[in-house]
């Protein structure tokens, strides 16, 4: 199948030993980039159980699929990315559901995916929608995006990683402002605060996310994977350990064919061809 051919994947996939027909989170692949689209526009793409089930199933598929190098997540339509957890389901939640924390566990899986992830935020990213974007590596937003954590207004807290990942990203003051006041940020404010790092108009949203994906794909795949893991680990651990892990990872990278190709390409004044050394490792002395 040609790389550039856009394929909508509606195939059945295994889920907990059974099968799921994707209807509510759709996947399309192009140039090694899988785009997942939450498809409940009449409900502002609110994340109900079905959305989370299908997202989980896609994550399993994508993790096992060597043809996918980067993942983009977006919402259907021009109004919402994801307007949070489905409040109809929330109304029935009991304390044990809070402990089960299906949304938090799903987003933690997403954050731990072995492939880089980009949220393309095309409207309301509220509550669990904002947290979904926070679980991605990079956020690209259209100028009509709105970010917010309205949970405290519903008598709950953002418990799908919101109290952790937002603090990591913005720091304690701005994060608490959003969490305890329910303050909503416009796309422009979110950009200024560093919550999103690319701001575009609506038509340019997916092309911009695709360009960011392409930029990542041109890098050394092992270096990108290790960088992501170190950043994730350091966010949870102490800086000294982070520095040590960084040194260890660099030592590993110094012995890879990717590093050799990257350095040689620069010295030869050409673009590196990382694809030509994909999967090759040379754990031998640099002088060999």
Residues that bind ligand COA (CB under 6 A): 43-44, 46, 83-88, 90, 124, 126-128, 150-151, 154
The nearest distance, CB 191 to ligand COA, in angstroms, is 20
Long-range contacts at 152-157 (CB < 8 A, ≥ 24 apart): 152/179, 152/180, 152/182, 153/182, 154/87, 154/90, 156/90
Is 145 buried (19+), middle (13-18) or exposed (0-12) by CB count in 10 A?
buried
Q: Report in angstroms the alpha-carbon separations of 156 from 91, 99, 112, 152, 180.
A: 11, 13, 25, 5, 11
Q: Of the listed 54, 151, 258, 261, which one is catalytic?
A: 151
CA dist 265 and 107 (Å) reads 38
The nearest distance, CB 179 to ligand COA, in angstroms, is 12
Q: Report in angstroms the alpha-carbon separations of 201 from 82, 121, 122, 209, 216.
A: 18, 11, 9, 12, 22
Q: Of the listed 131, 214, 261, 264, which one is catalytic?
A: 131
The nearest distance, CB 124 to ligand COA, in angstroms, is 4
CA dist 76 and 8 (Å) reads 14
Task: Closer to ligand COA by CB, 86 or 137: give it.
Answer: 86
DSSP-based three-state secondary structure for 117: strand
Phi-psi region of 215 (alpha: psi -120 to 50; beta: other; left: phi over 0): alpha
**What 8-state DSSP symbol labels residue 270?**
S
Asked whether the CA dihedral 85, 89, 90, 91 is positive or negative, the reply is: positive
Task: Closer to ligand COA by CB, 12 or 87: give it.
Answer: 87
Residue 131 annotated to the active site: yes
DSSP-based three-state secondary structure for 162: helix
CA dist 25 and 90 (Å) reads 20
Task: Closer to ligand COA by CB, 36 or 46: give it.
Answer: 46
CA count, 13 A, side-chain hemisphere, 183: 14
Q: Which helix (H) or strand (E) holds 156?
A: none
The nearest distance, CB 79 to ligand COA, in angstroms, is 6
Task: Closer to ligand COA by CB, 159 or 225: give it.
Answer: 159
Task: Closer to ligand COA by CB, 123 or 262: give it.
Answer: 123
Task: Closer to ligand COA by CB, 107 or 274: give it.
Answer: 107
CA dist 232 and 248 (Å) reads 15
The nearest distance, CB 87 to ligand COA, in angstroms, is 4
The nearest distance, CB 102 to ligand COA, in angstroms, is 13
> Which residue numbers are catalytic?
131, 151
């Amino acid at each position: 199948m040609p790389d550039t051919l856009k394929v909508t994947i509606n195939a059945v996939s295994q889920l907990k030993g059974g099968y799921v027909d994707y209807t509510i989170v759709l996947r399309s692949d192009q140039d090694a980039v899988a785009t997942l689209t939450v498809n409940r526009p009449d409900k502002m793409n609110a994340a109900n159980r079905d959305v989370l089930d299908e997202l989980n199933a896609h994550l399993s598929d994508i993790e096992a699929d060597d043809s996918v190098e980067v993942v983009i997540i977006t919402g259907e339509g021009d109004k919402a990315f994801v307007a949070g957890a489905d409040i109809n389901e929330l109304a029935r939640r009991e304390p044990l559901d809070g402990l089960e924390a299906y949304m938090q566990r799903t987003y933690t899986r997403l954050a731990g995916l072995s492939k880089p992830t980009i949220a393309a935020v095309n409207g309301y990213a509220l509550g669990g929608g904002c947290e979904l974007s926070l679980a991605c590596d990079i956020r690209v937003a259209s100028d009509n995006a709105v970010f917010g954590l309205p949970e405290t207004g519903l008598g709950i807290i953002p418990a799908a990683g919101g109290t952790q990942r937002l603090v990591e990203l913005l720091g304690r003051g701005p994060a608490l402002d959003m969490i305890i006041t329910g303050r909503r940020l416009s796309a422009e404010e979110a950009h200024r605060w560093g919550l999103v790092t690319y701001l575009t108009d609506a038509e340019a949203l997916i092309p911009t996310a695709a360009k960011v994906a392409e930029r990542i794909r041109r890098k050394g795949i092992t270096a990108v994977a290790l960088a992501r893991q170190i950043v994730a680990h350091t966010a949870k651990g102490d800086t000294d350990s982070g520095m040590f892990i960084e040194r260890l990872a660099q030592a590993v990278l110094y012995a890879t064919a990717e590093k050799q190709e990257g350095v040689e390409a620069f010295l030869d004044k050409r673009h590196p061809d990382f694809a030509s050394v994909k999967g090759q490792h040379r754990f031998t002395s640099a002088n060999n």
